[in-house]
Amino acid sequence: MLEWLPVSSEGQTVSLLVYLTGLDPQVALEISLWLHLGTLIAVLVKYRKEIFQYLNYKNREESVVQWRWFIVYSTLGTVITGVPCFFLVRYYITSPNVGEYIMLVIGVALLVTAFLLYYSGKQKRIGKQIEELSKIQMTSSGLLQGFSIIPGISRSGITMSGLLLMSTSKEETVKGSFLMSIPAVLGGFILNLIAIAIEGGNFFPIEWWQLLIAVAVTAVIGYLTMELFILIARKFNFAIICLVLGIITIILFSLKFIQTT
């Protein structure tokens, strides 16, 4: 459910798994990536009509063509920043030597998300359509999305903030953020599997049937709650929520760090 809110579902999932179950940060991150498959399925079902339109290359309507370009250029931007961030997180931030600082990383990233949400919320909106964006703006939205692989940086928060700063309407911003997530989530999942294969590791961080149930539950609940949580996201000031969560996470990290030193 948190996927639809700009509070970093990945950061909250990793935090809960690390604190409540004592899981290794790397394992917690891999579980989080699996859960993203569930929300991906929910988005595919929700926007199935639009997706079929964009995949039908016989459809040459100007708006459809521009939406295709938006997905292409935003995906390109995501690859440029997302791939380096993926390896940074996988091999450095969640490594045994640095993994204990993952909560600090999440806390700081939540503060960054809070600032972006606050700043974008203060800007005047012209109400542009996605198809009116330039190719540079489309790519820039993807560049921002790539940073969301870092736990604590909300994917929906950073992409919606970026699109709002480009003066797109709220409706187009929500739709654009969700659609550009499809290749990003799928690509991130495949990249993680490739990394595991190269390392000779286990594709399943926990029992496969547990993951299957978790992904299925995430997909069903995600689809059923999408509209409600989108409405909530429009009504509440999530900059303050991210700020509070960030401060709490940093405080919890500090207390744990003091206890272990």
Cβ atoms of residues 161 and 120 within 8 Å: yes
Query: DSSP string covering 220-238, please?
Result: HHHHHHHHHHHHHHHHS-H
Q: Which amino acid is at 30?
A: E
Q: Which amino acid is at 60?
A: R
Reported pTM: 0.81
Structure confidence at residue 45 (pLDDT): 92
Residue-wise pLDDT for 75-106, tens only, equals 999 999 999 999 888 777 556 666 567 778 87
Residue count (the chain): 261
Cα–Cα distance, 44 to 46 (Å, whole number): 6
pLDDT classification of 221: cutoffs 50, 70, 90: confident
Residue-wise pLDDT for 155-207, tens only, equals 888 888 888 888 888 788 888 988 999 999 999 999 989 988 888 878 888 88
Q: Which letter does DSSP use for residue 128 in this model?
A: B
As given in the structure block, the two tokens for residue 238 are 């999530």
Averaged pLDDT, 209-230: 86
Structure confidence at residue 124 (pLDDT): 66
Structure confidence at residue 140 (pLDDT): 96
pLDDT classification of 12: cutoffs 50, 70, 90: low
pLDDT classification of 3: cutoffs 50, 70, 90: low
Residue 60 has pLDDT above 60, yes or no: yes
Angle at 4 between CA 213 and CA 225, to 5 degrees: 60
Averaged pLDDT, 200-220: 88
Averaged pLDDT, 27-45: 87
Residue 236 has pLDDT above 70, yes or no: no
Cα–Cα distance, 137 to 129 (Å, whole number): 12
Residue-wise pLDDT for 103-155, tens only, equals 788 788 888 888 887 887 776 666 788 889 999 999 999 999 999 888 778 88
Query: DSSP string covering 159-198, please?
Result: HHHHHHHTTB-HHHHHHHHHHHHHHHHHHHHHHHHHHHHH
SS3 readout for 239-261: HHHHHHHHHHHHHHHHHHHHHHC
Q: Which one is predicted more confidently, 34 or 97?
A: 34
Residue 61 has pLDDT above 70, yes or no: yes
Taking phi over 0 as left and psi of -120 to 50 as alpha, with beta for the rest, 200 belongs to left
Farthest CA pair distance, the chain: 64
Averaged pLDDT, 16-43: 81
Residue 4 has pLDDT above 60, yes or no: no
Cα–Cα distance, 36 to 41 (Å, whole number): 9
